[in-house]
Structure 1
Amino acid sequence: MSIHAVSPLFVGRARELHALGDALTRARAGASSTVLVGGEAGVGKTRLLNEFVDRAGDARVLVGGCLELGTEGLPFAPFTAVLRGLVRELGRDGVAALVPGGTTRGLARLLPEFGEPDKDGAEARARLFEQVLGLLERLAEERPVLLVVEDAHWADRSTRDLLSFLVRYQRTAARLLIVVTYRTDELHRTHPLRPMLAELGRIEWVSRVELRRLTRREAVAQAASILEREPSPAAMDLIYARSEGNPLFVEALLSEAEGGDVLPESLRDLLLASVERLPDETQELLRVASAGGQRIEHDLLTAVAGLDDNALSRALRPAVAGNVLVVDGEGYGFRHALIREALHDDLLPGEHTRLHTRYAEALERDLSILPAPRGAIELAHHWHAAHDSTWALVSAWHAAAAARKSTAYDEQLRMLSRVLELWDQVPDAAERIGCDRLDVLRQTATVAHLAGEYERSLALAGAALAEVDLDADPIRAATLLRQRGLTRYDLGRAGHLDDLRKAAELVPADPPSKLRGQVLETLARMLHRPEDWPEKLATAQLAMEIGHETGDANVEAHARISLAWARWSFSEVEAQLKEFAEARRVARAQGAYNALMRCAISESDALEGAGWHERAAQVAREGVQEAGHYGLARTSGTFLAINLTEPLVSLGRWDEALQVVEQALDLAPPAPYRASLQGFAMDIALARGQLDRADKLLSSSGSVLARGTYREQTVLPHLVRQVLLLRAQGQPGEALAAAARGLEAQSPLSSSRYSWPVLVTFAQLCRAVLGEGGSPYAGVAAALLTRLRETAQELRAVGDLQEAQRLTFGVLAGPEKGPEKGAGAASREAWESVVAAWAALRQPYAEAQCLVGAAHAALAGGDRRGTASMVARARELAAELGATPLLEQLDVFGRRARIGGGDEPEGPPMGLTARELEVLREVTNGRSNREIAEVLFISVKTVSVHVSNILAKLGVATRGEAAATAHRLGLYE
């Protein structure tokens, strides 16, 4: 497997690239401006500029960089580089001809090619500044000019003065954009660039762009591009923690060290450059601080360093002034985690052990120096780093308990894992912590599940069960079986019901116990098939009674939720909500947060299933916030993000839904949750015609679903997406085959909530194929449509949402005979009732889609005015959603029906010019830019400009999507 040195994928800079593009657009229109681009070393300033320059079109690009030469840079270095490039391009005489006044003696100060410089003094300096500005003005008269000055933090005084002059007077030169980059981490308090940036920032036409570090999701995309595969979540956790989202550091850790623990030399040198400029005593203190972690309290550092406050402050001050350390409340933090790591790696073995022992002893003396649970966790870390196995194990056990009190499940899991890791190195481990290894395994399996590490939880529970004797220790065996059953269910693995039923057998029924209530409640929660309904009701009722009798609010509340699902349907949601409210009251009385999370999940799910989208979103959003409070953001929080995304998609608030998805994915949720979130993102991508993105999302979520056996609520939406993507890609035969296979595999359909969307989607596909006339797949479509009608007869419609879906299927499936009549086969009244149903539910996308069918029916009835009104309403809804394919469908229908256009000649589709249509034809034929240039006898750069314009007008991101759009519009048929 090859590894790219640099990510081929440009990640996470769309907003910044858009800001630069807007500035260039304004410059083209005559409004010159300056953009100051700041960011720490490695954050991607150069990469951003390279991407921007590649998209600069016909602009003349002039690039110069400042050079690091001691404390002051080389005078006028960036402008010398710019001038040298112009001489290479235009020749000395060509440049001279552009200089105002006909003399180039001022420019001779930058390049000797222009002869002897004029006399020194203020006047000579002013003449140089005027000539550089005049040269830029003349160049901008021909075409827009983009002047890039890189690494301004190294600029000397002369360069800063000239740059400041150009920015202040650039408005005399139309069509000039100046972009300046600088490192924010180099700007210590006395850096000379600071006041210049402050002054320039007050100028009206100057804007600033700060490049942030990448989010975890963006770093994953970058790493996948480098590795040509997606890294494992565990590897990515380590890489992201060490890099903190700095793109250069991600690349270095992947491509030079392949994500290992060794810091690449090139990266180490970059990180330590600022440290090596500090006084020796400061460097020594930084090495001591590096053993204390990324952030260290002042009192703790004082205790370990053995210095009084004055001496400590004197030694630290240069590190703070040099931007190596930052003051953080009552302590200090390293500017970047990798700086601390590089310093820590430089410690000698004996020095490493001594320092960590000193930290551990200081914390043993006074653990209150740090807040809980941080003090206990850091104490465990220092004993472990000091290679003292006994105290490392004991302190890790106590730290796990402290983390549990703070619901810090990730930290608790890490500490318990360390206890297991050290167990064999401490002969009397069980006596020291008062717990045997089997119980530590059980606790770790439970915490791994709470932390969202489902695969790990499954492995730990399996390892513990392999050691336990079911006959000799049935209670512990039942506890482990319940945990494994829960995890198997969450991962979609077979055997979860067997585990729970076996656990129920092992726990005595008399006297009632909390464990029996927990096992029965969990079993009731997992029973979903219609044939299991009587068992679900009886088991949940018994669990609720045991929970109430034993005072286990968690069990009682969970059982009430299960009973609410078993007793009432989506048409009786008011009764469900009352039961959920009672479950919430019971859970809140004893702080049973696990049950409170399920209350939020179940209530939002029930509301969405009933079509009450606004209330569903509200409940889910409040649940997400509550999950963060309980330390369950990665598990219950991301599940609730699924329940928040679904109603937002229904309501047409797609951008908001995508934001929720991105925030949830940044938390690295369990794989099944990630797949569900990606599914909703795919729904939006499909509706907006972003087929390449939809394909990637389907592949990613599909790889997760292939590893388990999931319920209809997961499998059926995935099947719908598969079929929709194949249809959008212009593969009706493959789409029909996938639909038929999926229907066969899932037969009989039992969940009406998730089955009706399948029937509607497949009916739409069949209608489209049958409406084409002469399609080779007509027979397959007719047979599938017949089967869909038969399936629909066996399916109930429960609640307003399912009723709208049933009505939609009815108008699509039509009568038993005559499906070839197309969309107009159903009456206008039938279509209008469907439109009204979706409008009442406030689902704009479904309403717009059905308005198309209603418009066809109205046109068939000769009502052109009514048709035009429906098309206009559908266009309004589709435009608000950004649903490009639906807009294209409406455009084609409008042109063919001459709705709103009378007999006037049609304008260019999607606003494309004649030349752009020619270029799009060749793109559709799969030609590269160079090949298109040869065919059309134009330059490659011109082709690139045309392709960029085409993508913008079509509202797509890639050439493949542009070709698919051309196909849907029938531009070249």
Structure 2
Amino acid sequence: MSPLFVGRARELAALGDGLVKARAGASSTLLVGGEAGVGKTRLIKEFTGHRAEDAQVLVGGCLELGTEGLPFAPFTAVLRGLVRRLGRDGVAALVPGGNTRGLARLSPEFGEPDKDGAEARARLFEQVLGLLERLAEERPVVLVIEDAHWADRSTRDLLSFLIRYQRTAARLLLVVTYRTDELHRTHPLRPLLAELGRVEWVTRVELRRLTRREAVALAAGILEREPSPADMDRIYSRSEGNPLFVEALLSEAGAHESLPESLRDLLLAGVERLPDETQELLRVASAGGQRIEHDLLTAVAGLGEHELSRALRPAVAGNVLVVDGEGYGFRHALIRESLHDDLLPGEHVRLHTRYAEALERDLSILPAPRGAIELAHHWHSAHDSTWALVSAWHAAAAARKSTAYDEQLRMLSRVLELWDQVPDAAERIGHDRIDVLKQTATVAHLAGEYERAIAMASAALADLDHDADPIRSAMVLRQRGLTRYDLGRDGYRDDLRLAAALVPADQPRLRGQVLESLSRMLHRPQDWQEKIDTARLAMEIGHEVGDANVEAHALINLTWAHSCYGDMEARLADYAKARRIAARDDAYNAVMRCAISESDALEGAGWHERAAQVARDGVEEAVQYGLARTSGTFLAINLAEPLVSLGRWDEALQVVEHALDLAPPAPYRASLQGFATDIALARGQFDRAEASLESSRSVLSRGTFRDQTVLPHLCREVRLLWVRGQLEEAVRAVGRVLEEQDLVISPRYSWPLLMTFAQLFGAVPPSSPSAPLAASLLTRLRELAPELAVEGDLQQAHQLTFRALTDADHVKDWDRAVGAWAALRQPYTEAKCLVGAAQAALSSGDRQGAAARLGRARELAGGLGATPLLEQLDVFARRARLGGASEDDGQPLGLTARELEVLREVTNGRSNREIAEELFISVKTVSVHVSNILSKLTVATRGEAAATAHRLGLFD
């Protein structure tokens, strides 16, 4: 290896800049790519060894077994290194809350892991990030993850999590290396790199090959003299500037007159000069992977300590192997790959068998779950179907303990692949094929492979006799029902109902779980009584068998089923009881769901302040449970919604932005962005609203979602079309909603739609081409409204407003609506209703009353920054000559009478020539008027001018 480090000034500078930012408190990530042998590892060593002396450097590498990575391998290595340096208690002291049961999934030093489940992985990820945050409080942390092209899915997920959320951990620099030449079109790292590359604080750096001048400098450093031009020509032409190949070719050029015939010869040339016993040991080591523990190599090689050291020393001295902690690693992965590929078929089987037998004798040589997974790999590579199946089954259990669900799924899939090759497979693992299919379905669900989960559950059900085996049938049906629900597929209710019918009475715990799941998934009005009865029974069973999780969840289901927004005190008492039950057994999933359901119910009742407080407390609880970025971001939705209702828009935006920084799941993100869209629409920030709505639209188009997500989104779509002046498109969009959605099912989310649609139809000019359709749709709205239930003060306020818009339009009706919104402390909707009340007062001849109502509306709208509403109020005041407008020229928005005439024609879609003919003026004069109009309205196009006129009702 050259003592000189050449040709990487730009890359070193990028790493240095990242460290400077970390020292200043701003975290960042560098993704360092390059082909094999280009010098990624050397770059990192140069940086960490000479440029990062003041930082804590943590290094972990991804490990490869054949084509499979090991779950969490780099993070396990980092954690073990910290334990060696700080001790177990020292590391435990750095974990937020002091609870290290999550870290036990990575290292056995921390005891037994906490409960399994979908949240277990989230807690593990939170604890790893929390550990890095605490470390960075002392001094900057540089976390290096090498060879990410070998990363398994669990490692990729954790890595993605850390990168997305690293901004919460000041003074953290993440460096990730990977081989670009390994990233074929379907490689799983490719989409992750593309996605992370769009993150603001992520920088991608790609190492290029060396120029000829740099290669000469590298060669001179190795030879301690400059090579001859002829030698350098040959070396550079063969190596093409790859530093590893330059080094190998220089070594060979000194020993032989001709260059090797192939790259494999080149890579193995240095090995072939070593003693025979060392070459044999390297062949043995190559079957163990890129890195191999000393104890495992000793056991497989069958050599004593003295003999092993004697054989190893030339390999280390020759820079083929490097000492790596408690084991050894090949200087370059290509050397190991070449050695392994060079094994004869018999050698390949024999060596992998020896590794498997050594691990069978003492699996503790390697940390869990690595030992179990490597054992499965070696038996599989040894082509021993029986032991490959058995070891894959045990490896799946080890992977589950580490929440490495993707790896567990891979191991279970291998068991199924090998099943027919092992006649006594069921006896070997103590489970039949149906059990394996059942477990695979569950794990596929946890891994997010929903389609596969349904397929596995269906395969198991095809082999099950419901009458002969009702217990397993019920378990598989429950799993398929839950997965179908998550995927938005029909049939989930049928699966859960059949599962409930199949569970025998002597299995109360399972029966309680199935009934609770069924009650939770019943949402249709026609299923309401069944939901109540099922939830009550599940709650009783959960209490009898001591299953606090089932009891608490069932009580939440029952409370929600009984939810009448007019009787909230009773419901709040039930939620408090559910919380006590869940806390009794540390059922944190139920505790979080209680906060979510209670805050949602409070908001639906119009108790906005209390809803916000419950949601805020829930966010803090989520942090304590290590679920800030899962349950916590969901609760952020429930916090943002009441803040929007209360008119605390800037505070709501802060909540939304903070939650989005945590990169929540896509459906959560769409809901959060929806509230940002509402505020942008109300403030006249239409481009921002459109961008936010487009982002939500892309999420919602990829799945099936409930009314609470879909109906507000459809309302925003219509509002955006309306404010853009696209009235015809807005009216047609309403028609599609009424045609495709059953609005009777969800009154809470349907009433806002009806109110918005009625407002839209009132803004459609009689001369508009869409007026007949609008009138027809308004009739349908009037027919639909009596079918919608009205529960609680919030829905009552919507109903009062709808009546004022569609049936009455009397001052007293508008004043009732205004009073309802004022009582709910919703200033924006109150202000909008005040406009209707002012118009009704003016129509009845009460100019003073109209002016007073407009004044109050202006006060509310000004406090919110609701610019479009302020403009509307300004135009209304001018036209009615009520005073209070911001201009004093007597015309709306400062337009002259002629400019208003021209704007009317522009709004009707006429060209300059058509306007000139209509108004008997020249085309040039029209053009001047149009330019003045655009300037005064501060818009760029005729379409935007027409949209403004429509929005303000200038020509109603």
Shorter-normalised TM range: 0.5 to 0.7
The equivalent of 1:903 in structure 2 is 888
**Structure 1 SS opposite 2:702:** helix
Matched, 1:420 2:455: no
Q: Which position in structure 1 is the counterpart of 2:799?
A: 806
Counterpart secondary structure, 1:516:
helix
> Structure 1 residues 424, 531: closer, same or farther in 2, change over 3 A?
same
- Superposed, 1:118-517 pairs within 5 Å as 187=47, 189-190=49-50, 257=185, 259=187, 348-349=340-341, 367-368=363-364, 372-373=368-369, 376-377=372-373, 380=376, 389-405=385-401, 407=403, 409-508=405-504, 510-511=505-506, 513-517=508-512
Deviation at 1:749, TM superposition (A): 0.6
Offset from partner CA, 1:819-867 (integer Å, 9 cap, x none): xxxxxx78774564255245x2xx5654565566567678883566874
**Residue 743 (structure 1) aligned to one of 738, 744, 752:** 738
Question: What is the CA–CA distance in structure 1 between the aligned matches of 2:553 and 2:435, rounded to whole Å?
Answer: 25
CA distance in structure 2 between the partners assigned to 1:802 and 1:43 by the alignment: 56
**Residue 948 of structure 2: aligned partner:** 969
| 2: CA distance, partners of 1:871 / 1:891 | 9
Residues 389/871 of structure 1: CA separation in 2 closer, same or farther (3 Å cut): farther
SS in 1 for 2:566: helix
Q: 1:720 to 1:37 in 2, by over 3 A?
A: closer
Q: 1:368 to 1:965 in 2, by over 3 A?
A: farther
Q: Map 1:28-177; keep pairs closer than 5 Å.
A: 40=30
The equivalent position to 1:782 in structure 2, one of 764, 768, 775, is 775
CA deviation map 1:878-900 (0-9, x unaligned) = 3xxxx676676677768877745
Using the TM superposition, give the Cα deviation of residue 616 of structure 1 relative to its aligned residue in structure 2, in angstroms: 4.1
What is the CA–CA distance in structure 2 between the aligned matches of 1:289 and 1:462, rounded to whole Å? 43
Structure 1 counterpart of 2:886, one-letter code: G
Counterpart in the other structure of 2:864: 877
Q: Which residue of 1 aligns with 2:749?
A: 754
Q: With the length of structure 2 as denominator, give the TM-score of the two structures.
A: 0.58
Contact 1:624-1:633 at 8 Å conserved across structures? yes
Query: Structure 1's 482 and 261: CA in aligned 2 closer, same or farther, altered over 3 A?
Result: closer
- Whole-Å separation in 2 of the counterparts to 1:298 and 1:682: 59
CA contact (8 A) 1:540 1:563 kept: yes
Distance 2:862 2:832 in 1: 10
Kindly indicate whether the alpha-carbon contact (under 8 Å) linking 1:645 and 1:680 is maintained by their aligned counterparts in 2: yes
Counterpart amino acid of residue 443 in structure 2: V
The verdict on how the C-alpha distance between 1:800 and 1:362 changes in structure 2, with shifts beyond 3 A counting, is farther
Q: Is 1:722 aligned to residue 720 of structure 2? A: no
Name the residue aligned to 1:13.
Answer: none
* Conservation of the 8 A alpha-carbon contact between 1:608 and 1:616: yes
1-structure distance, mates of 2:537, 2:340: 63
Per the TM alignment, residue 777 of structure 1 is displaced from its structure 2 partner at its CA by 2.6
Residue 242 of structure 1: CA displacement?
Answer: 14
Displacement of 1:695: 5.4
2:522 matches 1:527 = yes
The two structures, once aligned, show a CA RMSD in angstroms of 6.3
Q: Is the 8 A contact 1:691 1:728 kept in 2?
A: no
d(CA) in 2 for partners of 1:39, 1:759: 48
Deviation at 1:493, TM superposition (A): 1.9
Q: Which residue of 1 aligns with 2:660?
A: 662
Alpha-carbon spacing, 1:298–1:965, altered in 2? closer, same or farther (3 Å)? farther
Listed one character per residue, the Cα deviations across residues 637-663 of structure 1 (whole Å, up to 9, x for unaligned) are 765565455445545344334435535
Partner letter of residue 450 of structure 1? Answer: L
Does the Cα contact within 8 Å between 2:406 and 2:447 map onto a contact in 1? yes
Q: Structure 1 CA distance, aligned partners of 2:887 and 2:947? A: 23
Distance (whole Å) between structure 2 residues aligned to residue 551 and residue 963 of structure 1: 69
Contact 1:584-1:595 within 8 A present in 2 as well: yes
Tell me which amino acid in the other structure corresponds to 1:400: A
Structure 2: segments with no counterpart, 5+ residues: 1-16, 56-139, 144-151, 165-173, 194-204, 211-240, 252-266, 272-280, 896-905, 912-933
Within 1, Cα distance between the matches of 2:52 and 2:630?
48
For residues 559 and 742 of structure 1, what CA distance do their matches in structure 2 show? 34
- More deviation in 786-795 or 428-437? 786-795
The Cα shift of 1:427 comes to: 4.2
Say if 1:268 and 1:342, in contact at 8 Å, map to a contact too. no
How far is the alpha carbon of 1:442 from its aligned partner?
A: 0.9
Letter of the aligned partner of 1:696 in structure 2? E
Distance (whole Å) between structure 2 residues aligned to residue 640 and residue 317 of structure 1: 58
Shift of 1:755: 1.6
Amino acid at match of 2:487: L
Structure 2 CA distance for aligned equivalents of residues 847 and 333 of structure 1: 72
Partner of 1:576: 571
C-alpha distance in 2, partners of 1:333/1:371? 16
Secondary structure of 2:554's aligned partner? helix
Contact 2:512 2:538 survives alignment (8 Å):
yes
C-alpha contact (below 8 Å) 1:544/1:560 kept by paired residues: yes
What CA deviation, in whole Å up to 9, does each residue of 1:707-728 have, x standing for no partner?
Answer: x5x5433442343233224324
Partner AA of 2:494 in structure 1: D
Once the two structures are TM-superposed, the CA of residue 463 in structure 1 deviates from its matched residue by 1.9
Deviations 1:359-410 (A, max 9, x none): 7677656555665555545655566577665444433323333344455545
SS for the counterpart of 2:520 is helix
CA contact (8 A) 1:851 1:871 kept: no
1:439 to 1:800, Cα distance in 2 relative to 1, 3 A: same
Indicate yes or no: 2:847 matched with 1:861: yes
Change (3 A) 1:373 1:190: closer
In structure 2, the CA distance between the partners of 1:332 and 1:632, relative to structure 1 (3 Å rule), is: farther
| Aligned residue-pair number | 702
2:534 corresponds in structure 1 to 539
TM-score, normalised via structure 1 length = 0.57
Q: What is the Cα deviation at residue 439 of structure 1? A: 0.8
Give yes or no for contact 2:29–2:175 (8 Å, CA) kept in 1.
no
CA–CA distance in 2 between the matches of 1:741 and 1:775?
19
Deviation per residue, 1:925-967 (Å, 9 max, x gap): 99xxxxxxxxxxxxxxxxxxxxxxx99x98x9xx9xx887555
Contact 1:851 1:870 (C-alpha < 8 Å) held by counterparts: yes
Amino acid at match of 2:390: V
CA drift at 1:579: 1.9
CA 827–241 in structure 1, closer or farther in 2 if over 3 Å, else same = closer
Change (3 A) 1:468 1:452: same
- From 769, 779, 792, the counterpart of 2:785: 792
Q: What SS class does the counterpart of residue 570 from structure 1 fall into?
A: coil
CA displacement at 1:419 relative to structure 2: 3.1
- Residues 738/654 of structure 1: CA separation in 2 closer, same or farther (3 Å cut): same
CA distance in 2, matches of 1:520, 1:572: 26
Task: Name the CA distance, whole Å, in 2 between partners of 1:353 and 1:964.
Answer: 74
- Indicate if the aligned counterparts of 1:811 and 1:826 stay in contact, CA closer than 8 A: no
